[in-house]
Structure 1
Amino acid sequence: MPDAPLPAAVTAEPPAPAGLRIGHVHLKVADIERGLRFWRDAIGLEEQQRYGDQAVFLSAGGYHHHIALNTWESAGGDPPPRGTTGLYHVALLYPDRPSLARALKRLIAHGIALEGASDHGVSEALYLRDPDGNGVELYRDRDPTDWPRDATGRLTMGTRRLDLQALLAEA
């Protein structure tokens, strides 16, 4: 599709509704069982359904699926090289700090290395990769009343190192 401005009628449409959510993410993986060891065992999602040995659907709390893994176009494949387009990361939102702390303990128990851990003021986040190189963020939001703001009330998010020992103490 060429880079052309959208017609005025399209740009004048109202924005997406505030209740819009990401329902699920499908990830192309090289090996279903390897993916399950990460998403089910290390992250803790529950297996909901399988399509033979080609796809599996996982969720938290019995939802039909938050994450699906499939090998339809990727069985035995390599992760995309850096410097190419694609998924940067999928973010899983935890309900509170103790839940995020328990997720960190689980990652440690499964030998999963973190790529980073940040306090963004509005949230606290752990960054890692799944076995297929997909970026994963595990995070919790702070209450909006605790978000950092300047004197005009404008958000002032930033990035500081997250204290992992203090987080683990919450588990």
Structure 2
Amino acid sequence: METNYIIPDGARIGHVHLKVADLQRALAFYSGLLGFEITTMYGEQAAFISAGGYHHHIGLNTWHSKDMPHAPREGVGLYHTAIVYPERKDLAKIFKRLRTSGYPLTGASDHGVSEALYLDDPDGNGVELYWDRAPELWPQKADGSLEMYTRPLDLQDLLSELEI
């Protein structure tokens, strides 16, 4: 195996496919609450959803998980699916929507390079909603590497984006 291989700059994560216990409940969260558009349904067992007309960013299925319990929190598996918003104001809008609906957050952090909201979907899958600061604003260590951290996110300041 070649040891110096580096993935091409244009490579990206194309989509995430999640096993869910109840497809309609998952769609109520991802489409109804978060606003993803349904691009196609595969009967009553799977759905593909997206933002901006892409074929799908998230797949949801019950093929091996219909009516099953949440995966254990302690163990291997997906930690969370991260959804990036284009602007800070967009993150403020979804935060306000979550707060208005009473949907609980599991965390809210400033990471220096980004600001993030954390929650669990109805099946216990972690979801991160975030926006990235401009790269020139990313904090750096003396050696030039990134200085990422986890600090509490000022949610009132985030909501002030909606007043501008």
What range is the shorter-chain TM-score in?
Answer: over 0.9
Deviations 1:71-125 (A, max 9, x none): 0000001111121211100000111100111111121222211000000000000
Describe how 1:13-92 pairs up with structure 2 within 5 A. 13-92=4-83
- Larger mean CA deviation between 11-20 and 92-101 belongs to 11-20
TM-score, normalised by the number of residues in structure 2: 0.95
Q: CA deviation at 1:155?
A: 1.7
Letter in structure 1 aligned against 2:44: D
Letter in structure 1 aligned against 2:136: T
**2:88 maps to which residue?**
97
**1:129 maps to which residue?**
120
- The structure with the larger Rg is 1
Letter in structure 2 aligned against 1:137: E
TM-score, normalised by the number of residues in structure 1: 0.91
Runs (5+) with no aligned partner, structure 2 = none
Letter in structure 1 aligned against 2:77: G
Per the alignment, in what secondary structure is the counterpart of residue 161 of structure 2? coil
Query: CA RMSD for the aligned pairs?
Result: 1.1
Deviations 1:8-66 (A, max 9, x none): xx142511111111111110000011001100011110111101110011100111110
Q: CA deviation at 1:150?
A: 2.9
Per the alignment, in what secondary structure is the counterpart of residue 97 of structure 2? helix
Distance in 1 of aligned mates of 2:108 and 2:71: 24
Identity across matched positions, percent? 59
Distance in 1 of aligned mates of 2:97 and 2:32: 9
Establish whether residue 167 from structure 1 lines up as the match of residue 152 from structure 2.
Answer: no
Per the alignment, in what secondary structure is the counterpart of residue 169 of structure 1? helix
Per the alignment, in what secondary structure is the counterpart of residue 170 of structure 1? helix
**1:112 maps to which residue?**
103
Moved over 2 A (4+): 150-154
Deviations 1:114-148 (A, max 9, x none): 00000000000001000000000001110011011
Distance in 1 of aligned mates of 2:2 and 2:117: 36
Letter in structure 2 aligned against 1:63: Y
Q: Number of aligned pairs?
A: 162
- Larger mean CA deviation between 105-114 and 58-67 belongs to 105-114
